A and B are shown apart, each in its own frame.
Chain A
Amino acid sequence: MIAAGASLLDRLAAIEEKGLVAIGEAADAATLESARVEYLGRNGQLADVMSRIGTVEAAARRDVGQRANAVKKVLRGALEERMKALESAAAAPVDGIDLTLPARGRWVGGVHPVTRVIDEICEIFAELGFTRVLGPEIESTWYNFTALNIPLDHPAADMMDTFYLDKDVVLRTHTSPVQARVMEAFRPPVRVVVPGLAYRRDSFDPSHAPAFEQIEGLAVDEGVDFVEFRAAIEHFVRHFFGPGTASRFRPSFYPFTEPSAEVDVSCAVCAGSGCSTCKRTGWITIMGSGMVDPAVFEAVGYDPERYTGYAFGMGPARIAMVRHGIPDMRLLYEGEMSFLQQFA
């Protein structure tokens, strides 16, 4: 059967009219979608008309086709316009809603402030080629004392200061024994930073904890000298404490370094003029350090005539206290939510 072109044109006119109404009145995205399916969908009304064009007398086909395309274009245009209108309506303030009401929150997790200090320190030394290694917390007196040139009758090896688990087994009193372990296991060049817990029989008070974090550093190679040591530490100080921070090296004593140095940085709180944080000195001591003592090289089987190096140790808990203005070390270890949340 040959359909009349005129009746299809009528249908197209009706589709256009009803379609525009349906689209225009759609109040939400779902209604709009069903209007689209009804008129513009694969099995929709317009598609139905198009599928019949082939049955129209040849002379009218062109008109009907053009008209169908025109209607399609109009409806599509209206559809897009309505879609945009609905979207912006959804985003616009609605009468009667107070947009100053609080947002729906979510819990924010975070690492401990001491972890953050440890990571930053290790990352800065990573720029200088240091790798991060770890060691055991239960340690032999050999690694903890003897290999580090600390005789066992030295005050540092005293029962008063050390947790002995057994006659020759201690909870390490510093992370320095990892120096000896690393040097026994690897040949130079050695560049490591060693974060970890250390233990001393200090009672738990605002500035001491019987278990505390330490970061040990060690660099050994041919030709490593005091000048290089100082340059590395100064690089660290500038990057960790800020470019305006001054540092100074002054004589100190450790059995496993010589020359030994304590490193002070200018007090960030008072900029060197003296305050309670720096005990009115203008300086805050951040590390003990020095050139590795040849006796340590001998203990681990390195040739002290060939290799030189430097070592340093820092207390990240104390640095975190200075950095955040935390007055009591015990706060770091209480696990109190409102404390930890401040650093997340």
Chain B
Amino acid sequence: MNISFNWIDELAGLRGELRDPRVLAQRLTMTAAAVEKVETVGEGLEGIVAARVIETRPHPNADRLTVCRVDRGSGEVLDVVCGAPVIAAGGVYPHVAPGGQLPAGFRIESRKIRGELSHGMLCSEAELELGRDKGGIMRLADGLEPGTPLAAALGLPDTRLTLDLNPNRVDLACHMGVAREVGWPPAPRDFGGPVWSPEWRDGESGASGAGVTVRIEDLNRCPRYMAAVIRGVRVGPSPAWLAGRLLAVGARPISNVVDATNYVLHEQNQPLHAFDLARLPGAVIRVRAAVAGEPLTTLDGQEHKLTPEQTVIADRDRAIAFAGVMGGLDTEVTSDTVDLLIECASFDPAGVRRTRTGAGLSTDASYRFERGIDVHAQERALARCVDLILATAGGEADLVGLRAGPAPAPVPPIEVRVSRVNQVLGFGLGGAEVLAALEPIGFEALPGADGGDAGDGSDAVDGSDAVGGDVGVAGGGGADGTGDVLRVSVPGWRTDVAREIDLVEEVARRVGYDAGAGQDRRFRPSAVPADPRVEQAARVREMLTGRGLLEARSLSFMPEDYRGNRAVVSVPNPLSAEESRLRSAMVPVLLRRLEHNYARGNRNVRLFELGTVFAYAGGPGSEGDAEGTGRFEESGRVGAIVTGARRPDHWSGPGLDFDLWDLKEIAASFAERLCGATLEPLEGADTAGTAATADAPESGAPLAGPWLSPGGFRAVKEGRVVGVAGAVDGASLDAPPWAAPAFGLEFDLAAVEGRTVPAYRKTSPFPAVRRDLSMTVPRGVPAADVERAAREATSDLLRDVQLFDVYSGEEIEGGRLGLAWTFRFRAPDRTLTDGDVESEMSALSAALEKRFDARIRRS
């Protein structure tokens, strides 16, 4: 929202340090609305003056150029060659003389243009850096005396403040609103000049008079519609002061009539619209729902097909404007317009929103209607607009004004307890301080115990801003702020203030958010226990970062099918097809990240991610019968991928790539140390076909997917699969030829246990005895079974079993496999004797021979 410093100054009469625009900006930022930008408008206009074009003739050598004879008030008449399409003889335009320069620093000299000498230049708004309009030369008011310096006429330079308004503070979208915040007395202000003060014709849903009829067909969509009629206007350029104001706030001057409506919008926040009365058949205004398919061409030339959710202004025959959004092209005010109908209405905020979103429009008017306007100040706004049009475009205003729709209800007063203010803020304020904060911005203390009266506010033409409602007894509070309960009126422009807490906020920001500093407050514990998932996630991160993996974060969206891996839950309004589903598993997400790394030439990739996966309740693929959030299931997951070198390359020799046994270590550690689960091989040939379903957790998204190659692992805890790991199937990954095999794992975060405190076990000071044992076993005997059997066959003196070689080859009998083990024995209380160890070893050997047909190699 753009605000002119000069305009605020004119209204509020800024004093002291607030005369510095930066101080004003700081004050607004800290108490009302953030000022994003402070910039000067209309600098560098020295030497540019108003000049009247006396006559024009076509350029003899160029079709698109015009030669203008120009009077710039210096006594001599200059020829100026101009390329703009329309230059009117008798019109007044900004002129920069030879030797002068444009604000951007471009120096202008006399020069020949296609053989005709041109002295200086007539300028557009864009060339003067006053606006974006490059199309035409900026037309000034015809009455402006040639030679008048442009800057002075326009009231420039000015300082423009760009406000970032909070959505509740639409009242700050106009200069009166900002002026109130910084010291303009809330009492009404006389703008000078005569005031249009009509005889009102009122009606509950319609009114007639002044030769026109207004009918509101849906009072929910349009609670009030006022109109004024002005006849005999001369439409033309606005006077410079008016054009200058609009330029200062970044609006484009159009014509005196349109500019007057915009001026009132920026001054008072009331959107107004001027219709060309001659173009309204039957001189009827109807506010109604649009008819499906009905056409409307708006001012900007766009053609619309309407829907019944949209509200329109219509004449007898057709829609002529989007209510509260934008007028129509057919009825707009043009240079030929003589008679006007000025609309001053209020529209339902949600209705305006529907109307404008349906039309794909957003305008100054819709912005204000959507957030709420001061319905008690509409008469004042309409009168102001009529006055401005009469002053700038002439004509005669009809003495009858129309007011359709019920008068707005008075704003109820609010009771605010000083004790409540202090309970919420802790500033330790007294009643007088509370009132002192509120009264300068239009909240008035109302009598408490003894009643009293306040204006009913229905005829607020004269701008009686504070519209009090019924006044009653307020729990002992006095208008002087001595009791706990204060009763205050709410000004009509503060549509955001309706509750006691709203006033508490007003007090806080007026007193200053930094009030009450230096007080101590006690430490408070929380009755809410920490979520156990936080610790689960921390343990996972600790383990995986400790193994050299980096944490990735990616968006939760996936395409429906990513290289065979499907995501289930669909997003009905996705940003793109690539993001049309919510992820059902983490590994496919990481495979996309892996491919991104491949694209960057990264061969060594070690990533993990913790995140949420989504499914329909009732199992994979089903959409479920449940309602609401019950249709969906989300669960915490961790996925990881590793590929490439096991360690960074080193000059001492070639390194090895990550292989299945590195992955198994990560997966086994994860399963055993974090989950208390057992890692076991997935059932051989079975995996590819059924991994996705047979190994799914009991509900929710499946852990495994097509990415998981046969020959992987699963982690089982209490009979439930809580994780899978294995090589990444080539079909799930677009890998370059130089890529190493990739491995992935995915675990259910819910399976991760909290930290446990290990109990100390006595360590033995006595030496361990080591025995190596080579054996062959029939192929197919799992090494894990051999180890388990060895442990079962021995006492607890066996402390450690390590497989140090696996061999097959010529020296081994057919169908058998060699396994070489190291066993370590140790007693807690003595040095073991050979006899102790021998008896353990023979028990062990006997058991393995018997159970697995193991053949022990005796050396």
Contact = CB atoms under 8 A, between A and B. Distances in A.
B426 A191 contact: no
For the residues of A in contact with B, the DSSP-based class is mixed
B631 A340 contact: no
Nearest to A294: B501
Interface string B548-569: 1111111111000000000001
Contacts of B648: 105-107
B555 A129 contact: no
Interface in B198-256: none
Contact of A102 (B505, B524, B604, B650): B650
B90 to A, nearest CB: 46
B602 A337 contact: yes
A283 B34 CA distance: 12
B425 A227 contact: yes
B526 A210 contact: no
Contact of A259 (B509, B523, B533): B509
A49 interface: no
Nearest to A166: B631
Interface in B123-142: none
Interface stretch (A23-31, A60-68, A70-78, A327-335): A327-335
Given A107-B548, A165-B632, A251 B33 contact: yes
Interface in A37-59: none
A155 B354 CA distance: 11
Contact of B426 (A163, A226, A262): A226
Interface in A137-157: 137-140, 153, 155
A189 B502 CA distance: 25
B590 interface: yes
Nearest to A290: B505
A239 interface: no
Contacts of A191: 524-526, 528
B647 A169 contact: no
Contacts of A227: 425-427, 516-517, 519, 521
A204 B545 CA distance: 28
Contact size range, B: 35 or more
Given A133-B530, A137-B612, A337 B629 contact: no
Given A110-B550, A165-B572, A344-B550, A335 B602 contact: no
Interface string B303-322: 00000000000000000000
Interface string A315-343: 00000000000000000111111101100
Given A136-B634, A221-B524, A259-B505, A109 B546 contact: yes
Contact of B634 (A130, A138, A344): A138
Given A129-B525, A228-B521, A138 B530 contact: no
A187 interface: yes
B508 A259 contact: yes
Contact of A131 (B502, B530, B582): B530
B575 interface: yes
Contacts of A337: 550, 597, 600, 602, 604-607
A248 interface: yes
Given A104-B647, A201-B575, A211 B556 contact: yes
A223 to B, nearest CB: 8
A186 B628 contact: no
A24 to B, nearest CB: 29
A225 interface: yes
Contacts of A95: none
A35 interface: no
Interface stretch (A9-17, A81-89, A111-119): A111-119
A195 to B, nearest CB: 8
A275 interface: no
Contact of A107 (B575, B606, B632, B652): B606
A34 interface: no
B824 interface: no
B513 A225 contact: no
Contacts of A168: 628
Contacts of B504: 258-259
A187 B553 CA distance: 34
A80 B265 CA distance: 99
Contacts of B350: 153
A171 B614 CA distance: 11
A137 B548 CA distance: 30
B602 A111 contact: no
Contact of A115 (B505, B541, B575, B579): B541
Q: Which of B552, B575, B634 has the most CB of A within 10 A?
A: B552
B859 interface: no
A78 B296 CA distance: 109
B508 A109 contact: no
A325 B604 CA distance: 26
Interface string A204-223: 10000111010000010101
B720 interface: no
A226 B597 contact: no
A168 B552 CA distance: 32
Contacts of B596: 334-336
A192 B526 CA distance: 7
A230 to B, nearest CB: 7
Contact of B30 (A105, A165, A225, A248): A248
Contacts of B550: 109-110, 112, 337, 340-341, 344
Interface string B565-584: 00001011111000100100
Interface in B638-693: 647-648, 650-652
Interface in B330-367: 350, 353, 357
B547 interface: yes
Interface in B21-44: 29-34, 36
A288 to B, nearest CB: 11
Nearest to B169: A253
A269 interface: no
A69 interface: no
B536 to A, nearest CB: 10
B795 interface: no
A338 B606 CA distance: 11
Contacts of A258: 501-502, 504-505
B556 A186 contact: no
Contacts of B516: 226-227
B835 interface: no
Contacts of A138: 614, 629, 632, 634
Q: Which of B168, B530, B596, B629 has the most CB of A within 10 A?
A: B629
A203 B575 contact: yes
A101 interface: yes
A210 B575 contact: yes
Interface in B394-452: 422-427
Contacts of B602: 336-338
B60 to A, nearest CB: 51
A112 B552 CA distance: 6
20 contacts: A104-B647, A107-B548, A163-B573, A163-B574, A164-B572, A165-B632, A166-B628, A186-B527, A189-B526, A197-B556, A204-B575, A210-B555, A225-B422, A225-B425, A225-B426, A226-B427, A227-B517, A227-B519, A332-B553, A335-B609
Interface of B: 29-34, 36, 166-169, 350, 353, 357, 422-427, 499, 501-502, 504-505, 508-509, 513-514, 516-517, 519, 521, 523-531, 533-534, 541, 544-557, 569, 571-575, 579, 582, 590, 593-594, 596-597, 600, 602, 604-607, 609, 611-612, 614, 628-629, 631-632, 634, 647-648, 650-652
Given A227-B426, A344-B545, 4 more contacts: A107-B648, A231-B521, A291-B424, A336-B596
Interface of A: 101-102, 104-112, 114-115, 128-134, 136-140, 153, 155, 159-160, 163-166, 168-169, 171, 182, 185-192, 197, 199, 201, 203-204, 209-211, 213, 219, 221, 223-228, 230-231, 248-253, 258-262, 279, 281, 291, 293-294, 308, 332-338, 340-341, 344
Q: Which are the 8 A-B pairs with shortest beta-carbon distances?
A: A107-B548, A225-B426, A335-B593, A109-B545, A335-B552, A105-B648, A253-B166, A191-B526
